[in-house]
A and B are shown apart, each in its own frame.
Chain A
Amino acid sequence: MMEQKLRQEAKALLEQKKVDWIVGFETGSLKFTTTPLITKDIADTERLVINPFITNNLANFLTEIEGRVGIVAKGCESRSIVSLIQDNKVAREDLVILAVPCPGIIDLAKIERLVGKDRDELEDISRDGDKVSVKVDGQKKDFAVADVLFDHCLACELPTPTEYDILLGEPRLPTPDLKASGQNIVDLKELTSAERWAKWQDEMSRCIRCYACRNVCPACFCERCFVEETEPQWVMPMPQWPDNLIFQIIRNIHVAGRCTDCGECERVCPVNIPLRSLTREMYDIVGELFKFKSGMDKDALPLMVHYEQEEAEEFFK
């Protein structure tokens, strides 16, 4: 239903020259995968899909595409888009936002753990309301949706964009389950300072500095990242844990107020570093200290631009 409507609308937008580009999802080359579709071709719009595997945050492409863009946006994308508008990185008039009310995206890694098989060994995955059925070895296994969605989807505060031009389906209300999605952070907070630091040393020891976390993030749009600076050399480019950790710490501080907890960074990390345990904590810090939630209000000032006369200075001597 939504898919049909999306293809029609996208086709019309290109035909009527209301946009130069369509950015959406199409079927990927692996099972249960989608891949971004970025096209000027009217014929390509037939390949647009909406399904439980549309993981990417498409807003990431907005800072490099020139021209007017018709962009498919789940709730998290729309927040990133709004955040980019706040930062003057993209103009609202240059966008036609095709809103997809999102019921949550399936985390293949969770299914793999629950079923004990790799994703390419599964025959089918389908969602029916609150249930997700996985067909493997001829048998069907059912799971509660809350067990197989991404953690950040469980915490989602905006499943349906509020900033959009075309709404593709019935709006969904947010039902964030922060307990389910924040367990890692809760566990970390139970440790002592020294134990937490040791844990991060451990996690960052296997970072290979691929920068996928940074490059997949819509909030990271600097043309020259601080890690590329050599005068002065803030962080060494070698993948040693102190520099890896400083890279993550600073990246999180730099995107504070613009990170929308879309979870892409953790999903793409090839060496399974629990990056969301950093990004979500920063997101919560920003929310707690300044009552600021990124990407919710396109007319709000960015986090680091706004200030109140009196705020957040208990520890200032």
Chain B
Amino acid sequence: MTQESEWEPKLLGFLCRWCSYAGADLAGTSRKKYPANIRIIKVPCSGRVDSLFILKALRMGFDGVLVSGCHPGDCHYQTGNYRARRRIAITKKFLDYLGIEPQRLQASWVSASEGGKFAEVVTDVTNGLKEVGPNRLFERKNDGAKTKAGSEGTARTKKG
């Protein structure tokens, strides 16, 4: 964004194809501004999002994940977003307990006509990530290697 801040959070968004993705499209065509930090993956339904995707994203280095779907009651597949709601709810509480910052998993209901809301949500989430800082959750720590085996055979490679 500006030249002062070097780090820009990387946000991964899972948008359901029927509502939220269309809503994102509408934000674009309506020329609503929202931060370019989000990378979008289209899924058929928010219920498609297994918590595995969320953890994998954080593992790969994304600073945050946003899951967005149709409003409850409006799911194209009737009940998909109810599954998502339950699943994301328990995931959120569980990750919180584990020590993952709550800003890193966010969720929203954005319908196909809510271009403005989409832009707001992304702005909101991105600001939250800027506050909480870069994702250092899975950066390797070295001491685990020492007690294991003792010899240098266990590699904890230093990346980058």
Contact = CB atoms under 8 A, between A and B. Distances in A.
Interface of A: 188-189, 191-202, 205-206, 226, 234, 240-242, 246, 249-250, 252-254, 256, 281-282, 285-286, 289-290, 303-304, 307, 309-313, 315-317
B76 interface: no
B74 interface: no
Given A206-B147, A246-B59, A289 B89 contact: yes
Interface in B114-160: 121, 124-125, 137-138, 140-141, 144, 147-148, 156
B52 interface: yes
Q: Can you list the 6 inter-chain pairs with the closest CB atoms, starting with the nearest?
A: A197-B99, A205-B144, A196-B99, A307-B82, A317-B108, A312-B89
B26 interface: no
B90 to A, nearest CB: 5
Given A242-B59, A256-B90, A282-B94, A309 B73 contact: yes
Given A205-B144, A316-B107, A282 B90 contact: yes
Contact of B99 (A198, A242, A309): A198
B73 to A, nearest CB: 7
A281 B59 contact: no
A198 to B, nearest CB: 7
B25 interface: no
Interface centre among A192, A199, A200, A201 (most CB of B within 10 A): A201
B93 interface: yes
B60 to A, nearest CB: 11
Contact of B85 (A198, A303, A316): A316
B90 A250 contact: no
Given A253-B51, A285-B93, A289-B90, A313 B72 contact: yes
B92 interface: yes
Contacts of A191: 99
Contact of A194 (B73, B99, B140): B99
B100 A197 contact: yes
Interface string B83-113: 1011111111111111111100011110000
Contacts of B59: 242, 246
Nearest to A292: B86
B98 A285 contact: no
A244 to B, nearest CB: 10
Contacts of B108: 316-317
Contacts of A197: 98-100, 137
Contact of A315 (B106, B144, B147): B106
A315 B72 CA distance: 14
Interface string B25-39: 000000000000000
A312 B51 CA distance: 17
A241 B98 CA distance: 14
Given A249-B98, A304-B83, A313-B72, 5 more contacts: A202-B144, A246-B59, A253-B91, A253-B94, A312-B89
Given A197-B137, A315-B106, A309 B92 contact: no
A250 B55 CA distance: 8
A192 B124 CA distance: 24
B72 A309 contact: yes
A281 B97 contact: yes
A246 B73 contact: no
Nearest to B124: A317
Contacts of B85: 307, 311-313, 316
